[in-house]
Structure 1
Amino acid sequence: MHHPPDIEALLRDLRQRFGPRRALWVFGYASLIWRPEFDAEECRPARVQGWHRALRMRSHINRGTPERPGLVFALLSGGACRGEVHRLPTGNAEAELHRLWSREMPTGVYTPRWLPCHTPTGMVPALAFTLSRRHQACLAPLDDVAMLDVLRHARGRYGTTLDYLLQTAEALRTRGIRDREIERLVALAGRHRLLPPTEAS
């Protein structure tokens, strides 16, 4: 059984690899962009190589239920991904990291990694929450019929999968980040009249 590292182990790894005074950065690629729930002293656009954003992680609570699972984005191996890096406040970084850990890792579904993130002012190692393709929560790519069924019906404690997709699409659009698959999925939802009036107009 896979046991992800705890916060203390991650911080030891960061400081051993990059130095004791290295700032703590977090890479956001979906909801961590538009709902970070932690204080950041700095944000930069960033790109990671070797990983990509994919709407393939099953959600039984936040965006769906066990009876009708929803989907959320995950960072899967392969390709590249543009998003944002957030620098946690120097004097309170570890406390903010604990808050983030409580949000992202209650079930240990992710594999947290320090990934090199390329920003306009240089590379920073940032904590990223990745998903193993072998994890049971990682679904094979859905065809459009199956995806539309999820977008029509999946709803969890934080709302629908469709809302989550649209919020992520809007956050990327306002930051000038192109994600062709997200744009395709939004267009698919539009063709099938799933979009709210403000999105469809």
Structure 2
Amino acid sequence: MGDFWVFGYGSLMWRPGFAHVETQRARLHGYRRALCVTSHVHRGTPERPGLVLGLDRGGSCLGLAFRVPGDLRDEVVGYLRARELVTLVYLERLLPVRLDGGGTVPALTYVVDRGHEQYAGALEVDEAARRVSGAVGVSGANEEYVLNTVAHLKALGIRDHWLDGVAEKLVPPQP
């Protein structure tokens, strides 16, 4: 089998964790980046859940597409499934992404399952910030996850105004 593409929109963008031979900015139409997944383990607890990113229906999402050599397909797909499908809140899909370098390619993508109990739905900026603030899980503070994601997006020249709004609510105003 030939090379294949993986689309990253959150932590996969700055910590893919798998071998790849090319990275391009890419846009996925029909889905948007959102803090729409309740986290009971990595960024929260059952008593104080946090929020992590998911691809939810509507709009479009600018992210990164990673080209993976075909001979690594089983290894990389196995890694991604272990990472993304732990609680089955994401659905694995092969969706078309438009590469900045030109052309459209099918990319392995993980979108939120709206029927899953961890789906938080569409949240206003203030509500998302309230849920993120103070939540801590085995992977660390939820605020750190959001602020780190926003910083990496900005470093890549990607603006996500909704997520920026959440991050602004998490940072105390400077005197």
Same fold (TM over 0.5): yes
Larger Cα-atom Rg: 1
- Between the aligned partners of 2:163 and 2:60, the Cα distance in structure 1 is 14
Q: How does 1:42-191 map to 2 (within 5 A)?
A: 42-119=22-99, 120-190=101-171
Deviation at 1:166, TM superposition (A): 1.0
Q: RMSD across aligned C-alpha pairs, in angstroms?
A: 1.8
Structure 2 residue runs without a partner (length 5+): none
1:62 match: secondary structure:
coil
- Between the aligned partners of 1:143 and 1:118, the Cα distance in structure 2 is 28
When residues 95 and 188 of structure 1 are mapped into structure 2, their CA distance, relative to the original with a 3 A threshold, is same
1:153 match: secondary structure:
coil
Does structure 1 retain, via aligned residues, the 8 Å contact 2:126–2:166?
no
- Between the aligned partners of 1:51 and 1:144, the Cα distance in structure 2 is 18
2:92 match: secondary structure:
strand
Residue deviations 1:22-50 (CA, integer Å, cap 9, x gap): 42211000010111111111111000110
- Between the aligned partners of 2:72 and 2:137, the Cα distance in structure 1 is 32
Residue deviations 1:83-102 (CA, integer Å, cap 9, x gap): 00111233222212111111
Residue deviations 1:55-74 (CA, integer Å, cap 9, x gap): 01000001001110010000
| Paired residue type of 1:31 | S
Please identify which structure carries the higher strand content: 2
| Paired residue type of 2:72 | N
Q: TM-score, normalized by length of structure 2?
A: 0.91
Q: TM-score, normalized by length of structure 1?
A: 0.80
- Between the aligned partners of 1:26 and 1:163, the Cα distance in structure 2 is 25
Does structure 1 retain, via aligned residues, the 8 Å contact 2:129–2:167?
no
Does structure 1 retain, via aligned residues, the 8 Å contact 2:11–2:149?
yes
Structure 1 residue runs without a partner (length 5+): 1-20, 195-199
Give the match for residue 10 of structure 2. 30
Please identify which structure carries the higher helix content: 1
